[in-house]
Copies of this chain bind each other. A is one copy, B any other.
């Protein structure tokens, strides 16, 4: 199973709008991210080349849509981030986030419940 292709920062912006709504034309995407249409077109082309997007022709223009769900990319990026910055260890990263970020009471509660569920059993 081939890994999702590598997506750059600007490309990620493009993917985001297409994960929110697709298919879209190039101009629609450009409009939503508020970027220069030419630039966005370039990015769309690169993403197609990388296999992150497909398109279908609608009259004279293309309709783009993602080939993979956002979650796949999130997982990939997260792993790469963990590897790079935390030597692949999730716990130090979790500790870092919990310690440095503002969390509301509700969020803390949510996370605590999640950990509880995690603690009982759905282990591998």
Contact = CB atoms under 8 A, between A and B. Distances in A.
Interface of A: 9, 12, 16, 73-75, 77-78, 81-82, 84-87, 90-91, 93-103, 105, 107-108, 110-112, 114-116, 118-119, 123-124
Contacts of A123: 102
A74 B85 CA distance: 6
Given A77-B84, A78-B85, A93 B97 contact: yes
A108 B115 contact: yes
State the copy count for this chain.
2
Contact of A103 (B73, B84, B87, B91): B91
* Residue from A12, A73, A86, A93 having most chain B Cβ neighbours under 10 A: A93
Contact of A74 (B90, B96, B112, B118): B96
Contacts of A114: 95, 98-99
A55 to B, nearest CB: 24
A87 to B, nearest CB: 8
